[in-house]
Amino acid sequence: MESEILFSRKSMFGVTCAEITLNRPGKGNAITMAMIRQLDSILSEIEADRIGDIRAVVIRGQGRFFCTGGDIESWGELSPLEMGRTWILRGIEALSRLAALPQPVIAAITGHALGGGLELALSADLRIAVKSAKLGTPEVTLGMISGWMGVRRLSEIVGVSRARHLTLLGTPITADVALDWGLITAVAEDGEDLERQLNGWLERLCANGPAAMALTKGILATAHTDLREHHATAAGQALATGDCQEGVRAFREKRNPVFRNR
């Protein structure tokens, strides 16, 4: 069976760029625990690049979607403790490692980025999306929360007011609105235009000083405070509610959930 996350190196502009591709197109590239472990392994390989061979990293999704979030079949039956300690902390650790890479990371969003998929994109330094893509955090519609530091990253990127709009309403926004809010840094008309703009960015990044970019990323990273334990506890508490259990049942039964605030 083909790997659910693909990793490749490409020679571009006289140097090497790495590409990470989510490869579950039939499931909207929804993330499983196995994929989190695969991502960890790939990041270890990139981190082991001691000679500065890899100059930039691109993360993308195969098929119609960038990523529709965490696979509900992977977390819907977990206990609150398992949710916090396994699903949430492992996911936060993987996404934090992605964000901490010394190389610039670009999220190439060729389709919808929702829930954990948007959180994955938020771990990148630069984000470009096709015009037809929608971006959002619909977790509250399942009685859950954005558990992989998405709430914090959103507030840092778009401001607290707009983060509230996304996380409390749970309604996705268009790529054009996301650009206006600063959630993404460019919009492409279609896939072909996205690749053209992406290659332009890569050419520029590959021409820059890698040590200078790594140091700059380190300075920017000081804006983040470690809230992993808080997020893990909150996600476990959300999973323990009857509303979240109802949200999971409703999703599986393809109906609207009936929340009773319990």
Indicate which residue of 45, 47, 139, 229 is catalytic: 139
> Under a CB-based contact definition with an 8 Å cutoff, are residues 154 and 122 in contact?
yes
Q: Which residues does 221 contact at the CB level (< 8 Å), separation at least 6? A: 99, 100
CA distance 60 to 63: 10
Tell whether the torsion through CA atoms of 197, 198, 199 and 204 is positive or negative: positive
Label residues 175-194 b or e (16+ Cβ within 10 Å = b). beebbebebbbbbbeeeeeb
The full length of the chain comes to 262
Instruction: Note if 139 is an active site residue.
Output: yes
According to the 3-state scheme, what is the secondary structure of 198-217?
A: HHHHHHHHHHCCHHHHHHHH
Contact 139, 146 (CB under 8 A): yes
CA within 13 Å, CB half, 43: 20
Distances (CA, A) of 25 to 21, 72, 121, 139: 10, 16, 17, 21
- Among the options 77, 119, 246, 253, which is catalytic? 119
Which are the catalytic amino acids? 119, 139
